[in-house]
Amino acid sequence: MYAYDSLDETLVRERAVQFRDQVGRRVSGELSEDEFKPLRLRNGLYLQLHAYMLRVAIPYGLLSSDQLRALARIARRYDRDYGHFTTRQNIQFNWIKLADAPDILDELAEAGMHAIQTSGNCIRNTTTDQFAGVAADEIEDPRPWAEIIRQWSTLHPEFSFLPRKFKVAINGSPNDRAAIAVHDIGLSMLHGPTGETGFRVWVGGGLGRTPMIAEEIRGFLPANDLLSYLEAILRVYNIEGRRDNLYKSRIKILVSALGIERFRELVEAEWAEIRDSSLRLDEAEVSRIRAQFAPPAYEVVDSGLFAAKRIEDTAFARWAARNLFPHKQPGHAAVTVSLKPIGGVPGDMSADQMEALADLADEYSYGEIRVAHRQNLVLAHVPQSRLYDLWRALDSLGLATPNLLRVTDIVACPGLDFCGLATARSIPVAQRLSERLAEIDDRHDLRELTINISGCINSCAHHHVGHIGILGLEKSGKESYQVTLGGSSAEDAAIGKIVGRGFGADEIVAAIETIVVTWLELRQGDERFLDSLRRIGQEPFRAALYGTG
Amino acid sequence: MAQIVITGNRLHDGAVVWREPDGTWSHDIANAAIYPSEAQLADGLDAGRLEEAEGRIIGVYEVELDAGESRVAPVRLRERIRADGPTVSVG
């Protein structure tokens, strides 16, 4: 995995020193809150309902075992013994004291980590497929390109005060596991006519108040032109994007207002000016970065034990069927470590679990951990012969729930229990749904059925692209949950449609159960929920929920 | 006039605090001063904002209490959660 060079190290250490000074000036009264707030946000420090929340960057979701141990130490020393993994492949600590924040940044810097650009109107953490570099269906590993984007975008002076925050996702497979269609810029890797690597470029996707699927701006972009093209898009957005209305300031609004044709013209004109500049990527530099993502020296393994254990132990077989992902290296698998125990808090992980998983990563997966945007973790390089032992170890830690992409693999934001922006709670709804639906999944094998729950219109849990989406709002002083059906963040990306009037906090779990039970009656063969919905439409669900027929 | 209390977050740790009758700040909403008139509320907010300007408290504002409750409890769920803590287990 990518290791910081001296430039990176200097930058994060200097930032920690600067922030210590800024905190000192705030505590002494030299800086007002209005002066200090933009500075703390630039270091990922938010003030939430009960305390400060620190969001730590995990570039493209990739962690070393030592970095996970560092996060565990921070959780134990400065928080309440846990952290919360997010849909942006980052981690948040919910109970931070302002006075401790400089020490935390120092500890992060020591581990090659930071909290820069995890907030503010800048280019945020570039996200990617959690199976990047190992997926059997992959065209090319997108992580070196995500790293190149990280280096280019870090403290980019021109793009530090954009009209609004800006999110890029990159996927290296025809199967989209990075939700590129709902990002400001989505990049999909492909090979050109002569076999050269490039990108299909999408722009103007997003969720929040105005959900939109991105539009294709370029069918093929040669890889060495990546940065100049991104810079052209960002420059047009920075100049033309709205700054007068917070709710209309994302690039999706600009693309929609201008139309993709006109937006493309502006970008192409800008690109023509800068394409042959120093932004063109040098093959030697790309190779240098690519080499840092070289696969580990895989051992030749005998998979006989894996096959035998699947026959012997049905619980292991079920976990293996659900939580393993096909690996390009024969005899290996990528393992999803579920952070969705039945009835648990989605994405939460205790310090003890972090340390234990770091040890397991060293023992079974070359010391590497990935964060998935569905708030799970991944051990990406596990020999099949060792899967049974790993599963037993994960099970003893409460990390082996067999539910990847299933109805209990619920994505949920912190919601009103923690977040200053939230209008309703997310976590308790997720917990009750998980408990109720686990039993139905056991009986009926619901296959792939995703549920995403956001506690406000900002959509941090991506409810618009859940097969079933739930949006928590406050109506007449009470929590009200709006349900959408038919969303997808995959290659068949779609924004879910509202099914009807919202449900109260005491009604929402039963309403979702009604949807699932109704689907089971209408399901043909082993159809997924999404496929059934596309075949039969929303009407049967409306009738079941509201009796409107 | 509705029953009103004054709240904010403490600068050094972000903790939720409620303004007491003597002008100190408490973690417990049960200790909060309840302002019986607009004039007294305005005085309380002015004093709270002075402390905000001095840097001890952040984001001072007023919160309406639920008159139907036997204990001191805000009307809005957001403020109840601020007063009582998360409704889910932590950690």
pLDDT digits (tens, 9 = 90+) for A378-412: 999 999 999 999 999 999 999 999 999 999 999 99
Nearest to A49 among B54, B81, B90 (CB): B81
Beta-bridge partner residues of A472: A481
Please determine, for residue A549, whether its predicted confidence score (pLDDT) is greater than 80: no
Nearest to B58 among A47, A94, A345 (CB): A47
The alpha carbon of residue A77 and the mean position of all alpha carbons in its chain are separated, in whole angstroms, by: 26
Work out the minimum CA distance from A418 to partner chain B, whole angstroms.
7
Contacting residues of A for B76, CB less than 8 Å apart: 474, 477
For residues A457 and A209, the answer to whether their CB atoms sit within 8 Å is yes
Nearest to A477 among B15, B59, B76 (CB): B76
Total beta-carbon pairs less than 8 A apart between chain A and chain B: 80
User: What would the pLDDT profile of A301-355 be if each residue is shown by its tens digit?
Assistant: 787 899 999 999 999 999 999 999 999 999 999 999 999 999 999 999 999 999 9
- So what's the pLDDT on residue A300? 82
- Order of strands, edge to edge, in the sheet holding A82-85? A45-47, A52-56, A91-96, A82-85, A348-350
Contacting residues of B for A29, CB less than 8 Å apart: 54-55
- So what's the pLDDT on residue A370? 98
Distance CA(A188)–CA(A479), nearest Å, equals 39
* Residue A101 burial by Cβ neighbours in a 10 Å radius (0-12, 13-18, 19+): buried
Interchain CB contact of A475 with B (< 8 Å):
no
Q: Residue A77: how many CB atoms within 10 A of its CB?
A: 13
- So what's the pLDDT on residue A193? 87
Q: Residues 85..144 of A with a Cβ closer than 8 Å to B: which?
A: 94-99
- What's the whole-number mean pLDDT along residues A285-297? 95
Inter-chain CB proximity A32 and B59 less than 8 Å: no
Interchain CB contact of B2 with A (< 8 Å):
no
Nearest to B14 among A52, A431, A478 (CB): A52
Distance CA(A18)–CA(A365), nearest Å, equals 37
* % chain A with pLDDT above 90: 97
- In angstroms and rounded to an integer, the radius of gyration of the C-alpha atoms of chain A is 23
Report the alpha-carbon angle B2-B3-B8, nearest 5.
120
For residues A80 and A95, the answer to whether their CB atoms sit within 8 Å is yes
- What's the whole-number mean pLDDT along residues B4-28? 97
Distance CA(A139)–CA(A178), nearest Å, equals 14
The CA-based dihedral angle spanning residues A250, A255, A257, A262, taken in that order and rounded to the nearest 10 degrees: 150
User: What would the pLDDT profile of A39-93 be if each residue is shown by its tens digit?
Assistant: 999 999 999 999 999 999 999 999 999 999 999 999 999 999 999 999 999 999 9
Please determine, for residue B36, whether its predicted confidence score (pLDDT) is greater than 90: no
Contacting residues of A for B75, CB less than 8 Å apart: 477
- So what's the pLDDT on residue A548? 60
Nearest to A418 among B59, B86, B89 (CB): B86
Work out the minimum CA distance from A81 to partner chain B, whole angstroms.
6
A45-47/A52-56 β-pairing: antiparallel
Beta-bridge partner residues of B4: B35, B64
Please determine, for residue A419, whether its predicted confidence score (pLDDT) is greater than 70: yes
DSSP A80-117: SSEEEE-TTS-EEEEEE-GGGHHHHHHHHHHTT---TT
Inter-chain CB proximity B52 and A33 less than 8 Å: yes
* % chain A with pLDDT above 70: 100
Structure tokens at B83: 């007063």
Interchain CB contact of A427 with B (< 8 Å):
yes
For A469-473, the CB contacts below 8 A with 24+ separation are: A469/A496, A470/A429, A470/A508, A470/A512, A472/A415, A472/A416, A472/A422, A472/A423, A472/A424, A472/A425, A472/A426, A472/A429, A473/A423, A473/A424, A473/A502
Ranges of H-type helices in chain B: 38-54, 77-84
Q: What is the 3-state secondary structure (H, E, C) of A191-258?
A: ECCCCCEEEEEEECCECCCCCECCEEEEEEEEHHHHHHHHHHHHHHHHHHCCCCCHHHCCHHHHHHHH
B57-64/B4-10 β-pairing: antiparallel
Distance CA(A357)–CA(A335), nearest Å, equals 12
Contacting residues of A for B89, CB less than 8 Å apart: 345
- What's the whole-number mean pLDDT along residues B6-29? 97
Which of A30, A32, A33 is best to mutate for the B interface (most B CBs within 10 A)? Answer: A33
Q: How far is CA A232 from each of CA A120, A227, A269, rounded to the nearest angstrom?
A: 21, 8, 8
Q: At what angle do helices A427-444 and A508-522 cross, to 10 degrees?
A: 20
For residues A255 and A204, the answer to whether their CB atoms sit within 8 Å is yes
For residues A251 and A237, the answer to whether their CB atoms sit within 8 Å is yes
Which of A84, A98, A419, A421 is best to mutate for the B interface (most B CBs within 10 A)? Answer: A98
Handedness of CA A338, A343, A346, A349 (dihedral sign): negative
Distance CA(A66)–CA(A368), nearest Å, equals 9
Nearest to A51 among B14, B53, B87 (CB): B14
Q: How far is CA A470 from each of CA A159, A342, A451, rounded to the nearest angstrom?
A: 33, 18, 8
* Residue A17 burial by Cβ neighbours in a 10 Å radius (0-12, 13-18, 19+): middle
For residues A199 and A223, the answer to whether their CB atoms sit within 8 Å is yes
Inter-chain CB proximity B14 and A81 less than 8 Å: no
**Three-state SS for A432?**
helix
- The pTM of this model reads 0.96
User: What would the pLDDT profile of A202-237 be if each residue is shown by its tens digit?
Assistant: 999 999 999 999 999 999 999 999 999 999 999 999
Work out the minimum CA distance from A274 to partner chain B, whole angstroms.
45
- So what's the pLDDT on residue A3? 82
Distance CA(A291)–CA(A6), nearest Å, equals 18
Contacting residues of B for A28, CB less than 8 Å apart: 55
Phi, psi at A532, each rounded to 5°: -60, -45
Name the residue of chain B whose CA is nearest to A46's CA: B14
Inter-chain CB proximity A29 and B54 less than 8 Å: yes
Nearest to A50 among B12, B15, B88 (CB): B15
Distance CA(B19)–CA(A104), nearest Å, equals 31
